């Protein structure tokens, strides 16, 4: 790893800072924190605050995809985020300590129901065009399965892309499959299963070993693993 001065952020001492993902993983993250005795009334309230001091840890709420960034830099000592985020940002140097088991969903390749354009594009054009919010996961998957693709990165509602002709298919995260169904899309291949993970900053893992290990052990027990 080469040095990264710009992103180095100093960490104050005090309670461990835990990055909490907003969005789909928030509710179950707060539930498991309740179980290990962390006071989550702050983030559960309607407060617009982003930082909540509790007795044992400081909770810092953020987008799931920002968790690896904050944890790698040490601005948060530990954090919870989805495996999909960690796979997409595989070059972030964070320690993945625990599979928390919740937030289970699948990264899939999907195409329009009953539509042959994925196969046809591959056969006649030699490559598929794939719209996705996860360009690196998509590229790696097709590379490992020996197929050529043009990956088109989009930021929101990726289901839209194949419906109006941006790409032959999509790579996206699917929980229940309802969104796909409603948009007349179907799963063609499963790429990887993703759950919530507990991660730690490298330096915090060394210098605050007892606190990090204690939190890991409690979360392991609460997650039933």
Partner 1 sequence: MIHPIPPGTRDVLPDEMRELRRLNRALIEVFEARGYGEVATPAIEYDEVLARGGGRAAETAYRFFDESGDLLALRSDMTVPIARLVASRYANAEPPLRLCYLASAYRAVRPQRGQMREFVQAGVELIGAPAPDGTAEVIEVLEAALDAAGLDRAVIGLGDADLYRQLLTEFGIEGDGREAILARLATHDMVGLEAELAAVRGLGDDQIATCVALAQMRGGREVLEQARGLGGSAVERATAQMQATFDALEQRGVADRVQIDLGLLRDLGYYSGAILEVYDPALGHILGGGGRYDNLMRRFGVDLPAAGFALYLERVHVAQMEEERRRRATS
Residues 159-178 vs partner 1: string with x where CB under 8 A?
A: --------------------
* 203 is an interface residue for partner 1 by CB under 8 A: yes
* 3 is an interface residue for partner 1 by CB under 8 A: yes
- Gap between the Cα atoms of 138 and 141, Å rounded: 5
User: Which of 127, 193, 209, 221 contacts partner 1 by CB under 8 A?
Assistant: 209
Report the candidate in 186, 214, 15, 46 with the shortest Cα–Cα distance to residue 113. 186
- Gap between the Cα atoms of 183 and 113, Å rounded: 9
* 206 is an interface residue for partner 1 by CB under 8 A: yes
* 73 is an interface residue for partner 1 by CB under 8 A: yes
Choose between 40 and 223: whose C-beta lies nearer to partner 1: 223
User: Which of 33, 68, 197, 219 contacts partner 1 by CB under 8 A?
Assistant: 197
H helix runs in the chain, sequence order: 26-35, 41-44, 67-73, 83-88, 117-120, 135-144, 160-163, 178-182, 202-207, 209-222
Choose between 75 and 185: whose C-beta lies nearer to partner 1: 75
| Binding residues among 9-68 for partner 1 as defined by CB under 8 A | 9-13
Residues 97-136 vs partner 1: string with x where CB under 8 A?
A: xxx-------------------------------------
Choose between 120 and 221: whose C-beta lies nearer to partner 1: 221
Choose between 144 and 176: whose C-beta lies nearer to partner 1: 144
Query: Are 76 and 94 in contact, with CB atoms under 8 Å apart?
Result: no
Choose between 120 and 213: whose C-beta lies nearer to partner 1: 213
H or E element that contains 55: none
The site that binds partner 1 (CB under 8 A) totals a number of residues, namely 33
User: Which of 35, 113, 207, 221 contacts partner 1 by CB under 8 A?
Assistant: 207
- In the complex, minimum distance from the CB of residue 19 to partner 1, in angstroms, rounded to a whole number: 12
Strands 105-112 and 169-174: antiparallel
Question: What DSSP letter does each residue of 114-163 carry, written as one string?
Answer: T--HHHHIIIIIS-EEEEES-HHHHHHHHHHTT--EEEEE-SS-TTHHHH
H or E element that contains 167: none
Q: Would you call 41 helix, strand, or coil by DSSP?
A: helix
Residues that bind partner 1 (CB under 8 A): 2-13, 72-75, 91, 93, 95-99, 197, 201-207, 209, 213
């Amino acid at each position: 790893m080469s040095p990264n001065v710009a992103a180095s952020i100093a960490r104050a001492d005090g309670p461990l800072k835990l990055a909490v993902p907003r969005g789909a993983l928030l509710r179950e993250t707060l539930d498991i924190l309740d179980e290990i005795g962390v006071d989550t009334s702050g983030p559960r309230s309607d407060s617009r605050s982003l930082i909540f001091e509790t007795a044992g840890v400081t909770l810092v709420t953020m987008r799931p995809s920002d968790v690896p960034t904050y944890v790698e830099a040490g601005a948060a000592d530990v954090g919870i985020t989805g495996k999909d985020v960690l796979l997409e940002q595989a070059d972030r140097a964070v320690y993945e300590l625990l599979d928390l088991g919740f937030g289970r969903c699948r990264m899939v390749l999907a195409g329009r129901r009953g539509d042959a354009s994925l196969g046809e594009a591959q056969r006649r054009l030699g490559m598929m065009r794939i719209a996705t919010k996860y360009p690196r996961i998509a590229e790696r998957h097709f590379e490992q399965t020996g197929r050529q693709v043009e990956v088109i990165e989009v930021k929101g509602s990726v289901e839209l892309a194949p419906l109006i002709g941006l790409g032959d298919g999509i790579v996206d995260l699917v929980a229940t499959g309802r969104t796909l169904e409603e948009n007349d899309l179907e799963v063609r291949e499963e790429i990887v299963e993703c759950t919530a993970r507990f991660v730690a900053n490298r330096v915090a893992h060394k210098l605050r070993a007892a606190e990090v290990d204690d939190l890991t052990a409690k979360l392991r027990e609460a997650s039933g693993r």
